[in-house]
Amino acid sequence: MDAFAPVAPQWTNQATHALEFCCPKCGSTSREAERVWINRRSPVVTEGYRRKWQEFYYCNCSYVWWAWSNDRPPADNS
């Protein structure tokens, strides 16, 4: 699965907007997702002229959710 494919995979059609950057159904993080697709063809420009994208996740619980790229929490590299 190519996260940067130009065409959206069929499974993204059933996605629900997550208000927090995790699966709304089970609470799993984006790192636990089975599939990922980033909508890089349609960025949104914020007030500060920064871009953000929709990130779609197919969770390990079979729930499909999406969130804005700028809502992703900082990576914990420890």
CA 51 to chain centre: 15
What residue spans define the domains of the chain? 10-71
pTM of the shown model: 0.87
The residues facing 51 across adjacent strands are: 45
Long-range contacts of 42-48 (CB under 8 A, 24+ apart): 44/68, 46/70
Contact 41, 6 (CB under 8 A): yes
Q: What is the pLDDT of residue 75?
A: 78
For the chain, 78 residues long, the average pLDDT of each consecutive 10-residue run is: 83 96 96 94 88 96 96 77
